[in-house]
Amino acid sequence: MYIPLFNTDKHLKKNTVIKIQQNPIISVVPAAVSLGVAISARRLRFISLSTTISNQNTKLYPHSLLAHHYFKISRLNFISIALHFQKNWLCGSCFHQKHFLSLSRFLSSAMAADSSVMFNGNGNGSINPMPNLQRTYQVVVAATKDMGIGKDGKLPWRLPTDLKFFKEITTTTSESGKKNAIVMGRKTWESIPLQFRPLPGRLNVVLTRSGSFDAKAAENVVICGSISSALELLAASPYCTSIEKIFVIGGGEIFRDALNAPECEAIHITEIHTSFECDTFMPPIDFTTFRPWYSSFPKVENNIRYSFTTYVRVRSSVAESLNQSTVSPLDNKPASKKFEVQNFSFLPKMIFERHEEYMYLNLVQEIISQGTSKGDRTGTGTLSKFGCQMRFNLRRGFPLLTTKRVFWRGVVEELLWFISGSTNAKVLQEKGIHIWDDNASREFLDSIGLSEREEGDLGPVYGFQWRHFGARYTNMHNDYAGQGVDQLLDVINKVKHNPDDRRIILSAWNPADLKLMALPPCHMSAQFYVANGELSCQMNQRSADMGLGVPFNIASYALLTCMIAHICELVPGDFIHVLGDAHVYQTHVRPLQEQLHNLPKPFPTLKINSKKKDIDSFVATDFKLIDYDPHQKIEMKMAV
């Protein structure tokens, strides 16, 4: 028989009295009960119920308990109750001890007889094993490329900026009155200089099995035998309400158990790019389970090159990760498998807001709220800001926006169309790409004085200027091989053979040809830069349609940079996007406001066919976009 007993609300009302007697009834006054205790003559089990007991009426429930107990429960949350019973803990700060002691002994003995405990929330009385009542945590660590983290019990490097970052991320809380906990092994504790321990402003949790450990009496220090017991303790009162976040900070033995464990929701790693000799190591990060959220641009301090990177858990286990890593199909339909984690607001605010998509979102918000109202060629009307910049890191992820679905197949096919030198919009139309249809229509060409131009012929636009700059344009069918300057090949040759050249430039802006173009280039030029084995690109865009064009442009030039880096055996570095007239069309304000309500997700990863080394040999299937899990498509109509 099942008897409702405890409340899953945050706290029971103080002085709630629960009476269990031999008579087959139970009186509960007053409580809203959603958690129950299953008690038979031989067993006690926690089960999930949905029974509500009103304040006015006491309901009676049959039972077969051959005992008689009165007890009083102070303000105590559900997790603490369950842990005290499961672990046989007695805590005077949580319970009125004189009322609780006899019941605790009774419950402990009952649970020892049958430790099958569950919380399934279905109210059907089924019994499942009780899950571990533990909190999640985040790892903070600095490591070399081969995951070295220490030498002779010390850090092999001196990076004051890293220490500042460590202090900031582990001490900052979003709620005043709360603090964070840092969990460490005994060796890590002892590596902290005596005058600095315990680390101030945080609860220091030290893991040790040594009975002679001498920090037990220190203020703000808690000793636990394992990370599991530490997480259980921090899930119980008073820590469940006073500790905001838990950070595991070392050392090697702790990381072996904790780094890729299911309870680890994020890893904040200072990646040391300079080589150091180490004797202590941590395991590698499981990149099928964790995805990059943010990575700083490389920094140099004391001749040490390093960067800050945060990885977030997107799947619950390695096995599920292997099954669920998704390659986005080129038909742009949603992949069948999604991230198991969809909201990443568990991250510290300082990290959450460093997602690079916020550069775009914040600029959109600023233009909508503070932009200058202007007219435009299309007559639609815009809100505008002049002179903006966004900077994306291509080393860890690919900047395809996630707050709405971006037409990835369109990005790839259009860029390959540019590279081919084509100016024929029908080539894209035949592949189901219609982004140039309006500007190539008969009506539009006639409206700008190009009535002699064949429908679909865009004139000497991007691809023509990239591959045949200076050649005389006739029509989209002519063969221009060997004519004009092949700027794209010139860029590749300079990157390969003269990487320090400051004239590695690709320009689509040709004043002599502007009158022949259906649409003068919006993204006018790109300059490339080689340093530290990395290729970076800065693209200048005169006119930036924030709703439709810019998400596409970011992805297109990031892809071009990755392609050239791949051909030249370099690593993609930075993509810097410089915007002249950055504007939001009046017709796009509402859909963009909808997009602003969506929270970013981790950027996907781009894989390029390793066998392709010629810029003209690529086809769309040579590019694999891994783990792109955006929000839904948001419709916006193009202003023509």
Task: Give catalytic residue positions.
Answer: 522
Residues 6+ apart with CB under 8 A from 295: 307, 308, 309, 310, 393, 395, 396, 397
**CA 285 to mean position of chain CA atoms:** 15
Give the SS3 label for residue 389.
strand
Nearest-angstrom CA–CA distance, 265 and 599: 17
Spatial contact of 636 and 591, defined as CB atoms under 8 Å apart = yes
Q: Which residues partner with 140 through β-bridges? A: 268
Widest CA span of the chain, in angstroms? Answer: 102
Give the SS3 label for residue 550.
helix
Q: Are strands 280-281 and 148-150 parallel, antiparallel or unpaired?
A: antiparallel
Tokens of 175: 């709620």
Question: How many other β-carbons are positioned within 10 Å of the β-carbon of residue 479?
Answer: 6
Give the SS3 label for residue 10.
coil
Residues 6+ apart with CB under 8 A from 141: 149, 249, 250, 255, 267, 268, 269, 270, 282
Nearest-angstrom CA–CA distance, 597 and 415: 30
Spatial contact of 248 and 139, defined as CB atoms under 8 Å apart = yes
Tell me which residue of 87, 452, 433 sits closest to 237, measured CA to CA: 87
E strand or H helix at 234, and its extent? helix 227-234
Tell me which residue of 127, 4, 125 sits closest to 63, measured CA to CA: 4
E strand or H helix at 244, and its extent? strand 243-250
Tokens of 320: 């599920």
